[in-house]
Chain A
Amino acid sequence: MRISTFFYTLRQGVRNMFRNAWFSLASIATIASCLLLFGIFYSVVANFQNIVKRAEAGVAVTVFFDEGLSDEEKQHIGELILDRKEVDKINFISADEAWESFKDEYLGEYSDGFTENPLEDSENYEIYMKDISLQSSLVTYLNTIPGVRQVNSSQQTADALTGANRLISYISLGIIGILLAVSIFLISNTVMIGISVRKEEIGIMKYIGATDFFVRAPFVVEGLLIGVIGAAIPLGIIYFIYINALDIIMERFTEIGSILQFLPVETIFATLIPVSLGIGAGIGLVGSFITVRKHLRV
């Protein structure tokens, strides 16, 4: 393809968009409203998942050792635990650390009466997991390691968090699926109306000897532009809403803000920008590609 043809195609795509201003606006509005819903929903879901993940990260499995185990043996147990894929990190808690932590948490000034460490046998590993749904299999494994006296875990907490995570995933998948289906339906209808208006134009081009590519390319450029603009608008709106919503929560609902940690806007947009632009551009591209194809058999 000649460079001049390439630029002509781009120019025509942009011109087409302005020539059919109402159709373009309708398409942009359709894509924008669908992606706005999608973006808002994604932001909420991402924050929910973050909250659950943080809760998961705070849940630890504790491993206590048999009496008289050497430091090397304890280290070996630590290595065996770290080899497991589901394990994120482990912390070794010495007897002194365990006692200090217990004192701070439960005894306060009443601990002065203790001259020796009553938790001498409480050296342990705190294990934090990448995926808490695998806790029960990890506990089973830990119990088989020689030198392990006891494994403490809260299966109930793990189950609740796993269940919450799964529920959020199912609901978000379902709603995103419905939103996408509605978007594609609305957008393909809008594109189809726009293309049928230009059926005659496509016919003329074909009679003169235009190739399918030559006819289709400006429409595809147009579809792509409409899709990208339709995606960029809700991104801007969501950005504005999100940072303002965070400010309001932090200022007016300080209790919520201190309990729940919300994701920064950059983290949300690191996913939302490529996904929204991809969906917008993809719908615009595929929509125009398919609908023009119907009229090319002239």
Chain B
Amino acid sequence: MALGKKKTKRQMAEDELIVLDNVTKTYATGSPALNGVSLTVKKGEFVFIVGDSGSGKSTLIKLLLRELTPTSGEIYVNNINLGRLRHRQVPKYRRNLGVVFQDFRLLKDRNVYENVAFAQRIVQTPGRLIKRNVPAILSIVGLAGKYKAKPKELSGGEQQRVALARALINKPPILLCDEPTGNLDPRNSWEIMKLLEQINKRGTTILVVTHNREIVNEMQKRVVTMKKGVIVSDEEEGGYIDEN
């Protein structure tokens, strides 16, 4: 059976890739982290999700990763109803997503090549293809010469590139980036954003959760602003809305 596709209540339009339908997520502490959020992201879009701490951005990412399930409402990603996914189906679903975190989350005891190759091993890519694909993706992110280096031997920017290469090597339709520039200096931040823009131009849909006002304002992409668990603004070619 296809992943979570049984009895979907809402049929997605052909160009829709992510749909949140009146999603609420309440933690055990009581107050909702997300409150009736509805959001649609179309194929090929580049979307910034912005907002202060406690606005619900991280919860949104966790819901999309299917680390959490919504208290109410429904989430569809690439025609998959996440609420209907069983635990054993989650890994296959996650292969639709490339994920980049603020803290890179690389396997510390493996070198650059092995970190990137790992994503291919998971999907059981034949060894000869891994040997071809990994150097190619490392070239794209500008790390061809550092494939033997361990994460601790790399700068923050380089580590984030490895994470990006790992996220992209299986050619996922969606790339989720959770504060990808949060640990980087401005120069490296811009380089990562330029890479993301290039990747987006090749057709990958990109969601970036960020605090980086300068980048959001400069890039003129769609900006979804969240505050206390609700979407307060959603603008094409928007900018960072000041909290005050």
**Which of A1, A205, A207, A212 has a CB less than 8 Å from the CB of B88?**
A212
Q: How many residues of A contact B (CB 8 A)?
A: 21
B94 at the interface (CB under 8 A from A): yes
What string of 1s and 0s marks CB contacts (under 8 Å) between A1-24 and chain B? Answer: 110110010000000000100000
Q: Which residues of the partner chain B approach A297 to less than 8 Å between Cβ atoms?
A: 87
Cβ-defined contact, B124 with A5, below 8 A: yes
Q: Are A210 and B122 in contact (CB under 8 A)?
A: yes
Contact check, B126 vs A206: say whether CB atoms are below 8 A apart.
no
The answer for the CA separation of A209 and B85 in the assembled complex, in Å, is 14
Q: Which of B144-171 contact A (CB under 8 A)?
A: 166
Question: For A4, what are the chain B residues with a Cβ–Cβ distance below 8 Å?
Answer: 124, 126-127
Contacts of A298 in B (CB 8 A): 67
For the side of the interface on B, what is the size category?
20 to 34
Question: Is the C-beta of B118 less than 8 angstroms from some C-beta in chain A?
Answer: yes
Chain A residues, Cβ within 8 Å of B82: none
CB contact under 8 A between A208 and B118, given known A19-B109, A201-B107, A298-B67: yes
Determine if A209 and B124 form an interchain contact, defined as CB atoms under 8 angstroms apart. no
Task: Give every chain A residue within 8 A of B119 (Cβ-Cβ).
Answer: 208-209
In the complex, which of the residues A200, A201, A214 contacts B122, with contact meaning CB atoms closer than 8 Å? A214
Interface contacts (Cβ under 8 Å), in number, total 55
CA distance A298 to B65 in the complex (A): 10
Chain A CB within 8 A of B92 CB = yes
Residue from the set B65, B95, B122, B124 with the largest chain A CB neighbour count within 10 Å: B122
Tell me, yes or no, whether A171 is within 8 Å of chain B by CB: no
Bound complex: CA A212 to CA B88 (Å): 8
B65, A207: Cβ atoms closer than 8 Å:
yes
Do A209 and B121 touch (CB < 8 A)? no
Is the CB–CB distance between A208 and B127 below 8 Å?
Answer: no
The answer to whether A211 has its CB under 8 Å from any CB of chain B is yes
Cα–Cα distance between A170 and B226 once the two chains are bound (Å): 69
Kindly list chain B residues whose C-beta atoms are within 8 Å of the C-beta of A2.
Answer: 124, 126
B121, A5: Cβ atoms under 8 Å? yes
Inter-subunit contact A211/B126 (CB<8 Å): no
Q: Is B39 located at the chain interface by the 8 A CB criterion? A: no
Q: Which B residue sits closest to A8, measured CB to CB?
A: B121
* Most central of A4, A19, A203, A212 by chain B CB within 10 Å: A4
Given contacts A5-B121, A201-B107, A204-B105, contact A209 B126 (CB under 8 A): no
Q: Which residues of B contact A205 (CB under 8 A)?
A: 107, 118, 122
* Nearest CB of A to B97, in Å: 8
B91 lies within 8 A of chain A by Cβ: yes
List, in ascending order, chain B residues with CB within 8 A of A200's CB.
Answer: 105
B232 contacts partner chain A, Cβ-Cβ < 8 Å: no
Chain B residues whose CB sits within 8 angstroms of the CB of A209 once the complex forms: 91-95, 97, 119, 122-123
Q: CB-defined interface of B162-206 with A at 8 Å, one 1/0 digit per residue?
A: 000010000000000000000000000000000000000000000
A210 to B94, CA, bound (A): 9
Given A8-B121, A214-B122, A208 and B166 contact (CB-CB distance below 8 Å):
yes
Residues of A within 8 A of B91 (CB): 206, 209-212, 214
Q: Residues of A contacting B65 with CB < 8 Å?
A: 207
Which residues of A have CB within 8 Å of B87?
Answer: 297
Greatest chain A CB density within 10 A among B91, B119, B127 is at B91
Interfacial chain B residues near A211, Cβ < 8 Å: 88, 91-92, 122
* CB within 8 Å for A204 and B107 given contacts A8-B121, A209-B92, A209-B95: yes
Does B20 interact with chain A (Cβ within 8 Å)? no
23 A-B Cβ contacts within 8 A? A2-B126, A4-B127, A5-B124, A19-B109, A200-B105, A203-B105, A204-B106, A204-B107, A205-B122, A208-B119, A208-B122, A208-B166, A209-B91, A209-B94, A209-B95, A209-B97, A209-B119, A209-B123, A211-B92, A211-B122, A212-B88, A214-B122, A297-B87
Q: Which 6 A-B residue pairs are closest in the complex by CB-CB distance?
A: A209-B94, A209-B95, A211-B91, A210-B122, A204-B105, A209-B91
Q: Which residues of A contact B (CB under 8 A)?
A: 1-2, 4-5, 8, 19, 200-201, 203-212, 214, 297-298
